[in-house]
Amino acid sequence: MSRASSLRIGVIHARIKLGSKRANTRKLKSLVASLVDDYKVDLIVLPPYPFTGPVINYYTPNRLKHAMSNYAERIGRRLPGNSILVNPIEWAVKLNVSILVGPMIERAGPRLYITSVLIDEYGSIVAKYRKMSLTPEEIKYGINRGKDPGIFYVSSKDAKIGIFIDEDLAYPEVFRFMQKEEVNIVIGFMLPYPSAYFKMTRDLGHIMTMDKSMVETFLAVRSKEIGIPILLVGGIVEDVGNHGKLAYMNTIPVEPDVGVIQEKEKGLEEIDTVFIVDVDVRHSRALPLNPNITETVRRLCKSLK
């Protein structure tokens, strides 16, 4: 098989404890190593907010600002010595694998963003996506929107990945931009949150989740529109001190011709499990986009609220 023919992706569907950096990091390190040993993957995808758990909507208002300040990371060419990203960088180099880190809070000067990064096998942060479509709560607590859609390039496999976070799923122009860039697969991240487009519900009487049928419908439509697979990465959020599960979102694979592959979904019971995807980058490529509308798509992305 040629160097650029196949990209093997290993996705971690994990239980993340709120605020437990050390415990989360220790568990993810073990899962990352087992993915490389057992499945020989090229790219590992960590879940949303993999080290700290989600922040906005998961802490009371009087604790939220402190949590955001404590968990915000500076993400640049040179990382602070105490950066949580030092860990996945070490894993990437040691295991010779690229790592896609699910969204986290980023601090850039006085500004805050919700950001996902790609680390290559040499330990370099080679791409960064700042979430473009923000919720009222995120804006209220000082999150700034990014300017450009997320297109990550895995150079070792000559593969392009489209990236989205939460509310981005509601905007077709985001996916049309990915189509224009001829990505090979789209990977998105979502945990339960108050949304203008997707209904948040409670499962088993008290555990927060999103209306799965609604999210699945959007995913199936987006995949069909642009003609490539989409993988939504979720996970389970556990309260501090082992006080039970707070929220979860399924990890959902979607194919353009068949829609949601429900038998392969990872849900509330599949704690700390993995999902393997093989992408043939020669054949899995977004449908051609009419060049006459590419500038319109770009302008629409710039104007997202």
- Residues 174, 222: contact at Cβ < 8 Å? no
Whether pLDDT at 219 is above 60: yes
What is the Cα–Cα distance from 12 to 17, expressed in whole angstroms? 15
Residue 301's pLDDT band (cuts 50, 70, 90): confident
What is the Cα–Cα distance from 125 to 120, expressed in whole angstroms? 7
- Provide the number of structural domains found in the chain: 1
Total Cβ atoms within 10 A of residue 201: 13
What is the Cα–Cα distance from 209 to 2, expressed in whole angstroms? 41
Diameter of the chain measured on Cα atoms: 55
Residue 1 lies in a domain: no
Residue 1, pLDDT score: 35
Among residues 42, 7, 13, the alpha carbon closest in space to that of 264 is found at 13
Residue 206 lies in a domain: yes
Among residues 186, 193, 194, 246, the alpha carbon closest in space to that of 218 is found at 186
Residue 189 lies in a domain: yes
What is the Cα–Cα distance from 163 to 230, expressed in whole angstroms? 10
- Residues 236, 293: contact at Cβ < 8 Å? no
Task: Find the domain containing 274 and state its range.
Answer: 6-302
Residue 88 lies in a domain: yes
**Beta-strand relationship, 185-189 and 159-165:** parallel
5: left (phi > 0), else alpha (psi -120 to 50), else beta?
alpha
Residue 305, pLDDT score: 62
What is the Cα–Cα distance from 15 to 28, expressed in whole angstroms? 10
Residue 65's pLDDT band (cuts 50, 70, 90): confident
Whether pLDDT at 241 is above 70: no
What is the CATH number for 25? 3.60.110.10
Q: What is the mean pLDDT of residues 145-165?
A: 95
If one compares 180 and 289, the residue with the highest pLDDT of the two is: 180
Mean pLDDT (the chain, rounded): 92
Q: Which stretches of the chain are assigned E, i.e. beta strand?
A: 6-13, 15-17, 43-45, 98-108, 111-119, 125-130, 150-154, 159-165, 185-189, 200-203, 207-210, 230-233, 235-238, 245-249, 252-255, 259-260, 273-280
Residue 204's pLDDT band (cuts 50, 70, 90): confident
Each residue of 97-114: pLDDT tens digit?
999 999 999 999 999 999
Residue 186, pLDDT score: 98
